[in-house]
Amino acid sequence: MIWQNFAVLNCPPSIYYLPDFITKEEECAIMQAVDKTPRPRWTQLSNRRLINYGGVPHPKGMIAEDIPVWLHHYVERINQLNVYAEGIKANHVLVNEYLPGQGIMPHLDGPLFFPTITTISCGSHTVLEYYEQTEDANGQDGSG
């Protein structure tokens, strides 16, 4: 699969969508593994809950930890796409759980995730809205 053939029209030129990157069976297996995650492993936020695998992002770098065996296959498949800069490999998985109607506000992902992120969506479709980065009145970077 050559990911460059999957550019999304009417989006920034760096946005690609690979339909059927995972099968329905793989989607079910991922969701079952996530459902089995012990409750203390989840971080509850105001509009979603999440799990970090592979480490916890920190302003001074990633606090690394092993990625569970059930995720290795998917991380390796993403790495085989060669979407990251030379020598860079995916090393972190963030599982976000959104209930119907939930989402997150416009934001920047920060330097640990710059310049490339990849996303696998399970259980429902996903809508990503992209905004041109702006600067607010205080000179702070933001989105809007």
Write down the domain spans for the chain: 16-128
Between 108 and 138, the higher pLDDT residue: 108
| Arithmetic mean of pLDDT, 94-99 | 90
pLDDT band at 136 (very low <50, low <70, confident <90, very high): low
Provide the pLDDT for residue 142: 55
Task: Share the mean pLDDT of the chain.
Answer: 86
**Of 104, 95, 100, nearest in space to 37 by CA:** 95
12, 66, 83 from 9: Cα distances, Å: 8, 37, 19
Provide the pLDDT for residue 114: 79
Provide the pLDDT for residue 122: 92
CA atoms within 13 A on the CB side of 7: 8
Between 100 and 28, the higher pLDDT residue: 28
Specify the CATH number for 16-128; select among 3.30.70.270, 2.60.120.590, 3.90.1150.10, 3.40.50.1820.
Answer: 2.60.120.590
Identify whether the C-beta of residue 84 lies closer than 8 Å to the C-beta of residue 114: no
Ranges 4-13, 33-42, 51-60, most confident: 33-42
Provide the 8-state DSSP code for 17: -
| Arithmetic mean of pLDDT, 58-84 | 89
Name the pTM for this structure.
0.81
The single residue listed with the structure tokens 């936020």 is 45
**CB-based contacts of 113: which residues, under 8 Å, 6+ apart?**
57
